Amino acid sequence: MTIDNILQSIRQYLTLEKASGKTIRYYQSPQDISSFLQQSNIKVGLSEYKEIILEEETALELGGFNVQSFSLIHPIIDNNHIQNGKITVLGPEFQEISQSRVHFGMFLVIGVSSLSERMFQDLRGLNLISNGIEGFSIRTIPRRFWCRINSSLLTKKFSMEFLGNAIIHLYKSKFKDLIQSIEIFFINNDPKSIHEFIQITSNITNLYLEKWKKKVDEWKKKIDCDYDWGCEICPYLEECKDIKDLLNSRNQLEN
C-alpha cells in the first residue's frame, strides 16, 4: 500500500468516525507560526528544553505502559496528497481529560525535496520534539510512545493545536528549505482508533522494522555478535559502542 492509499484510508476512516459521533477537530497551521506560539507563553526552541519531568511534576502522561500508544514519523519525497499544515485531532483536548494517563497516537507525514539515508534517520528522531517544547518530555521505551506534560503547561492552556504547530515549527526551523509539507494526526484517549491507525499504517511500520532488522544483523556480523535480543535492550550496549568507536578509528587510519 502506497502512502497515497494510506492517507486516503485514514481520511475515509476519520469521515466514518465523525459520522458516528466521535469528536474530530481540524486545525490549519497559520502563516506566521512563531507569532501564534508566542501568544500562549509556552516556550519553543531547538534543543532548548532537554528537561526530565519527574512524576510529581506530571499533570498528564500520553501513552506509556498499560495503555495503547504508537508514534510514526514518515518522511517521503513530497507529493500532493499531503495536506500541508493540517493538524487532525481525534479525541478530547488535554483540558477535557480527567485521567492522569491516556491512550495516545501520533502520525507525522513529512514531505521533503530530497531524502538521503542520514536525513531520513534525522527526520524520524523524536528528540527534536522532546527537546524543543517547554514542559513536554518524550520518554524513550522500545516500540511505544510515552511522554509527560508538566502541570505548568496545562495552566497555560497547552492544547493539541499548540502541540501540532510547535512540531511543525521545530521541523521547519531545523530542516528549513528541505521541508516541503507536513501533516499531523493525533489520536487522543481512543484505543480502538489507535489500533485502527496501527493497522492502516502497518505497511510502513513493517518496512521500517525490516530496515532496522537488516541494520542490526549487519552490525552484529561486523562485531561478531550472536545474541538474540535487539540493540535497544542489550545489556552490553555501552561495550558495543566502544567497539564501534574503535572500528571507526581503525577505518579512518586505514583510509
Domain that holds residue 238: 209-254
Question: Is residue 160 domain-shared with residue 50, that is, in the same domain?
Answer: yes
- End-of-domain residue from the set 171, 201, 231: 201
Question: Is residue 113 domain-shared with residue 163, that is, in the same domain?
Answer: yes
Question: Is residue 8 domain-shared with residue 77, that is, in the same domain?
Answer: yes
Chain-wide mean pLDDT for the chain? 87
**pLDDT for residue 230:** 60
- State the pLDDT confidence band at 143, using cuts at 50, 70 and 90: low
Question: Is residue 136 domain-shared with residue 160, that is, in the same domain?
Answer: yes
**pLDDT for residue 65:** 86
pLDDT at 134 over 60: yes
Question: Is residue 41 domain-shared with residue 142, that is, in the same domain?
Answer: yes
For residue 181, how far is the Cα from the chain centroid?
Answer: 16
Number of domains in the chain: 2
Question: Is residue 182 domain-shared with residue 219, that is, in the same domain?
Answer: no
Q: CATH number for the domain including 197?
A: 3.30.1650.10
Question: Is residue 44 domain-shared with residue 164, that is, in the same domain?
Answer: yes
Burial 39-64 (b: 16+ CB within 10 A, else e): ebebebeeeebebebeeeebbbbbbb
Cell numbers given for 7: 492517507
pLDDT tens for each residue of 191-205: 999 999 999 999 998
Question: Is residue 157 domain-shared with residue 213, that is, in the same domain?
Answer: no
Question: Is residue 168 domain-shared with residue 215, that is, in the same domain?
Answer: no
Residue given cell 481540524 in the structure block: 26
pLDDT tens for each residue of 226-253: 655 566 556 556 666 665 665 565 555 5
Question: Is residue 197 domain-shared with residue 236, that is, in the same domain?
Answer: no
Phi-psi map region of 118: left, alpha, beta (phi>0 left; psi -120 to 50 alpha): alpha
